[in-house]
Amino acid sequence: MNAPTLALLVVAVIFTAAFVRSALGFGDAVIAMPLLAASAGLKTAAPLVAFMGPAISILILAKHWQSADLRSAAKLIAASIAGIPLGIYLLTRLPEAPLRAALGIIVLLYGLFGLLKPAMRIENEKAGLPYIVGFIAGILGGAYNINGPPAVIYGMLKGWPPERFRATLQGYFLPTGLIILLGHGAAGLWTGQVLRLFAYSLPALCLGVWLGGKVHSRVPERRFRQAVYASLVIMGGFLVLRALLT
């Protein structure tokens, strides 16, 4: 793929991911990572999405920080920080093909979970549960930038109200995203190509966050989530199939 075509694709993907994240409070990385990994490679997609995540969190929190419950996210953040280095190690040391296949499986399962939406709730939470969830999220964040699925599932099972859910996730994503970003830089993944592509995408990212905020307040959230989860099932299945055939 030539450079102008790749740049246009990256801008379109980041706009879509920012729109979804602003509308739902999550979902940007699970949308952007499969598409960018398939077109630009995992070692370009990962740091590019790592730049995107904190930027979106800052834009959302600038308006909705009062709704964030950082106390609920603190244990997840602490455990994620411990798992992030392991995820970055896997990203830089393992072959790309099995990592892509694993990414596809995670995205597929996450989409299926969202569509099924089990009504179960955490009644008697074990003391170590948020730390386990956070550590797994940190590994996935370091390797794929998708620390969101475990945190989102945890929030669903805790029954957080929608506005608190959306804002609290940003409070979780911002510090963990910054650590992932710095870790990718320390691992040598901040290439000139990554920095240029992110710079090209910044206006689209801001536009996506603004439009997503409008949708968040006007479109029925349940219907929009179902469409997002269905697209994740398709993308995850595509990545798994592609890994099996190559």
Predicted TM-score (pTM) of this structure: 0.80
Is the Cβ–Cβ distance between 174 and 54 less than 8 Å? Answer: yes
pLDDT at 14: 95
Could you give the CA distance from residue 208 to residue 12 in angstroms, rounded to a whole number?
10
**Which pLDDT value is given to residue 222?**
74
Scan for tokens 């909705």, then name that residue. 64
Cα–Cα distance measured from residue 207 to residue 213, given in angstroms and rounded to the nearest whole number: 10
When divided into structural domains, the chain yields a total of 1
Most confident of 25-39, 87-101, 180-194, 225-239: 180-194
Task: Give the per-residue SS3 of the chain.
Answer: CCHHHHHHHHHHHHHHHHHHHHHHCCCHHHHHHHHHHHHHCHHHHHHHHHHHHHHHHHHHHHHHHHHCCHHHHHHHHHHHHHHHHHHHHHHHHCCHHHHHHHHHHHHHHHHHHHHHCCCCCCCCCCCCHHHHHHHHHHHHHHHHCCCHHHHHHHHHHHCCCHHHHHHHHHHHHHHHHHHHHHHHHHCCCCCHHHHHHHHHHHHHHHHHHHHHHHHHHHCCHHHHHHHHHHHHHHHHHHHHHHHHHC
The residue type at 112: L
* Spatial separation of the C-alpha atoms in residues 202 and 199, rounded to whole Å: 5
Task: Categorize the per-residue pLDDT at 205 as very low, low, confident or very high, splitting at 50, 70 and 90.
Answer: very high
Decide if pLDDT at 64 tops 70. no
pLDDT, one tens digit per residue, over 66-117 is 666 677 788 889 999 999 999 999 888 888 778 778 878 888 888 888 888 7
* Max mean pLDDT range (31-45, 122-136, 159-173): 31-45
In this prediction, residue 118 carries a pLDDT of: 59
Per-residue pLDDT, 2: 83
The confidence band for 193, taking pLDDT boundaries of 50, 70 and 90, is very high
Label residue 236 by pLDDT band (50, 70, 90). confident
Residue that wins the pLDDT comparison between 85 and 159: 85
pLDDT in tens, 25-39: 777 888 898 889 888
Range of the structural domain that residue 228 is part of: 3-245
* CA pair distance 246, 243, nearest whole angstrom: 5
